[in-house]
Amino acid sequence: MAEAQLIELLTTGGANVAFAAFLLYQFYHQQRKLDERDQKFVEREDSLRARYDGVIQLYIEKEDKMRESVVQEIQGIDLQLNNLEGKLDEVRTKVQLLQETVSELKMRDIARSQITGNIAPNGHK
């Protein structure tokens, strides 16, 4: 529409044209408010999502640290068990050597007593 026709319509149209102009103004004004409200909602939603993502990330990091701590403890216990197993093997070897030494000493004692007195190992002639 040309500008002249629009001005003529406004001046000759009366109350209906003025009301239509008001409705048009109100529509655009409400649309702008709705757009602003939508934008604020999106910003709040993004902020909330970022905050929850941060909280979730903290829990994930905490869980990872706990898992690493448990793994380190298990590795430490495993190392201690390996050391204990090695020491137990050493004790077994020493006990076995002691048993062999005791058996050898008993055999020597029996042999010595038989040589010196012809006495049987159980103490009878």
Residue 14, domain extent: 3-117
Helix axes 15-117, 3-13, angle to 10 degrees: 110
Query: What pLDDT, on the 0 to 100 scale, is given for residue 5?
Result: 80
- Token pair belonging to 106: 């008993």
Rounded to two decimals, the pTM is 0.49
Which of the two residues, 10 and 68, has the higher pLDDT score?
68
pLDDT at 125 exceeding the cut of 70: no
Model confidence at 82, in pLDDT bands (50, 70, 90)?
very high
Average pLDDT, the chain: 89
Question: Number of folded domains in the chain?
Answer: 1
The stretch 95-119 carries a mean pLDDT of 89
Q: Does some domain include residue 124?
A: no
Q: Does some domain include residue 125?
A: no
Cβ atoms of 114 and 121 closer than 8 Å = yes
Residues in the chain: 125
Q: Does some domain include residue 122?
A: no
The tens digit of pLDDT for each residue in 4-40 reads 887 777 777 777 887 888 899 999 999 999 999 999 9
